[in-house]
Structure 1
Amino acid sequence: MYVAYWILAVPLAVFYLWAGGKKAIQSQERLRPLMGWVDRTPMPVVRLLGVLEVLGAAGLMLPPLTGVAPWLAVAAAIGLALIQVGGTVVHLSRREANVIWLNLLLLVAAAATAWLATAWV
């Protein structure tokens, strides 16, 4: 289960470092082409989501690598899954059914990662 965790956690962490980093530091104008929902979302909320995603990525990687507070990996994966639940709701409310597949894929990956992380907690 340890290998399976890393097979899921590494790409998930890379994705959230990229997406969260963009939300945390880029302007609304730079985010708009990729994330249309930022038009109706206050930028402090977008920044908060970005920071939470970066922290979630760190939580997936650092606790298992260091052995310090490994339960944080489970918490990080659950938090990232909850972010995707929110993302699905936002896309449904905007009638953007064509992008929900990504939210659902990330939700399933985060939930599976949380379950796999329980092996060493």
Structure 2
Amino acid sequence: MTIAYWIFAALLAVFYLYAGGKKTVQSRERLQPMMGWVDTVPMPLVRVIGVLEILGAVGLVLPPLTGIAPVLAVAAAVGLVLIQVGGITVHLTRGEARLIGLNIALLASAGVTVWLATAWL
């Protein structure tokens, strides 16, 4: 179970560090081609989502790695699940049902990670 957790956590952490990093530093114009939804969301909210993704990625890795408050890994994974629920909601309200495949995969991966992270509880 530990090896499976680290595989899921590492993959999610890399993805969210990249995606969150882009959201925190790039302009709306640079994000638009990859994330069409940024045209309807205020940029401060896009930045907050990016910071939350980065914090989620760090929360998946650091607590279990250091042994300090490993329950935070569960909280981080739950947070990433909620981010994907929000992402799916945004796509569906914009009529972009065809674009939710990645969101569903990330939601499922984060859900599995929640379950695997309970090994530290």
Query: TM-score range, shorter-chain basis?
Result: over 0.9
Length-normalised TM-score, structure 2: 0.98
2:105 corresponding residue in structure 1: 105
Provide the alpha-carbon RMSD of the alignment. Answer: 0.5
In 2, distance between residues paired with 1:113 and 1:72?
12
SS at match of 1:63: helix
Length-normalised TM-score, structure 1: 0.98
1:64 corresponding residue in structure 2: 64
Deviation at 1:95, TM superposition (A): 1.2
Large movers: runs of 4+ above 3 Å: none
1:51 corresponding residue in structure 2: 51
Question: How far does the alpha carbon of each residue in 1:70-89 deviate from its partner, in whole angstroms, 9 at most, with x for none?
Answer: 00000000000000000000
Structure 1 segment 1-121 matched on structure 2, within 5 A: 1-121=1-121
SS at match of 1:118: helix
- Code of the residue aligned with 1:91 in structure 2: it is H
| Percent of aligned pairs with the same amino acid | 69
For structure 2, list consecutive stretches of 5 or more residues without a partner in the other structure. Answer: none
For structure 1, list consecutive stretches of 5 or more residues without a partner in the other structure. Answer: none
Deviation at 1:120, TM superposition (A): 1.3
In 2, distance between residues paired with 1:118 and 1:106?
19
- Code of the residue aligned with 1:56 in structure 2: it is G
